[in-house]
Amino acid sequence: MGTPLKDRDTFLDQGIDMYLVSQDTACRIQNEVHTCHAVYCEECLLDYLADNNTCPIHKDVFLFHLPREPQFVSGERNGATTLDQITDDIEASKFCHKLFNDTMNLYDREQIFDSDIKEKIHATLKYIGERYNHPSGLSIKAEHMAGVMDVVREMVKAHFKAQAKAGEYKAYKSKDWLPKMNKAVGWKHAYRLGL
């Protein structure tokens, strides 16, 4: 006798041999877990297996594993670190620097959709999350997303102005965006030189 299959669906796919008897479908339990020579009405067997994981005749034979009962645990699951939880000044500055650079190619589009902006934000979150070893990733709380998107819109406008007035317009540096991002996310970070 083998080990029970991992779940009910796998068992129903692999552990039942069905065949026609006159005009009804009959079936037998037949696989490496257990071979029962009893013949069952298909509907009756499926009804039984909806609430049980043993052979209807050999009750000591487990055919498949039942799903585990849920366990309720107090507290919160450790999920992704949210942007407002970043306490490292260098990481915050790098986020602004990377986002500013990643938005540079958006300025030449005639129409910039919210999805274009969110794509750049999520790509930057992914990059910073991997670079600064956030095992569950890095995300933005819903209440901060609108503010971050406004900052990105300003970044795109700055890129546009810089290109439109080649040389005359003071190009922004990523350090110029840290105070705006601080306000949008609730950080209290200082700009680090060199970023």
What does the radius of gyration of the chain's CA atoms come to, in whole angstroms?
30
Cα–Cα–Cα angle for 155, 125, 105, nearest 5°? Answer: 35
pTM of the complete model beyond 0.75: no
Paired sense of beta strands 24-29 and 16-21, if any: antiparallel
List the domain range (segments joined by +) for residue 101. Answer: 81-185
- Is 61 inside any structural domain? yes
Q: Is residue 75 part of a domain?
A: no
Same domain, 91 and 180: yes
Q: What is the largest CA-CA distance in the chain?
A: 90
For residues 125 and 171, state if they share a domain: yes
Question: How many whole angstroms separate alpha carbon 83 and alpha carbon 145?
Answer: 10
Whether residue 195 has pLDDT greater than 50: no
Residue at 72 is within a domain: no
Q: Per mean pLDDT, which of 102-106, 157-161, 180-184 is the most reliable?
A: 180-184
> Are residues 158 and 133 located together in one domain of the fold?
yes
Q: Are 38 and 96 in contact (CB under 8 A)?
A: no
The better pLDDT of the pair 7, 138 is held by 138
Query: Is residue 95 domain-shared with residue 47, that is, in the same domain?
Result: no
* Domain co-membership, 22 together with 105: no
Number of separate domains in the chain: 2
- Token pair in block for residue 94: 């790098």
SS3 state at 91: helix
